[in-house]
Amino acid sequence: MNKTLQMVFTNAGGRPVTISVVDPREDLTETEVTAAMDMLIARNVFVSAQGALVDRVGARVVSRGVSTIFG
């Protein structure tokens, strides 16, 4: 099963920006993820077309699996 950590931010233009990390650690905590998101904001690591990231909205781990029916 493929897993992706999706971190959702708001940019300077008020629009949502999602940054995805493939195969995140299984034991991530809310504290670790919020600290990482705060660091990305503080250091202006990513800038979108609408400006810098200014606030965190949330984070989620998305799991996706494929089941072959035939072939």
- Residue 62 has a pLDDT of 96
Using DSSP's 3-state secondary structure scheme, residue 14 falls into: coil
Tens-place pLDDT, residues 21-62: 999 999 999 999 999 999 999 999 999 999 999 999 999 999
What is the residue extent of each domain of the chain? Answer: 2-64
d(CA 23, CA 33): 14
Q: Which of 51, 57, 15 is nearest to 34 (CA)?
A: 57
d(CA 24, CA 2): 10
24 and 5 Cβ atoms separated by less than 8 Å: yes
Tens-place pLDDT, residues 4-15: 999 999 999 999
